[in-house]
Amino acid sequence: MPKRIQIPLQPLTSEGFSAYGEVIGCEDHDYFHINAAQTERYHDLALTQVDASAKLGISLFRNIILTELPCTIQMLERHPLGSQAFIPMQGQAFIIVVAPNLDENRPDLSKLQAFISHGAQGVNYRAGTWHHPLLTLEAPSLFAVVDRIGVGHNCDVFAFEDDTQVSII
Q: What is the pLDDT of residue 105?
A: 85
With contact defined as beta carbons under 8 Å apart, do 155 and 50 qualify?
no
**Residue 10 DSSP SS3:** strand
Q: What is the pLDDT of residue 87?
A: 97
Q: Which domains does the chain have, with CATH numbers?
A: 3-168 (2.60.120.480)
**pTM for the predicted model, two decimal places:** 0.92
- Alpha carbon distance 22, 98 (integer Å): 13
- Alpha carbon distance 76, 4 (integer Å): 16
Q: What is the pLDDT of residue 126?
A: 95
* Tens of pLDDT, residue by residue, the chain (169 residues): 678 999 999 999 999 999 999 999 998 889 999 999 999 999 999 989 998 899 999 999 999 999 999 999 999 999 999 999 999 999 999 999 999 887 778 899 999 999 999 999 999 999 999 999 999 999 999 999 999 999 999 999 999 998 899 999 9
With contact defined as beta carbons under 8 Å apart, do 84 and 48 qualify?
no
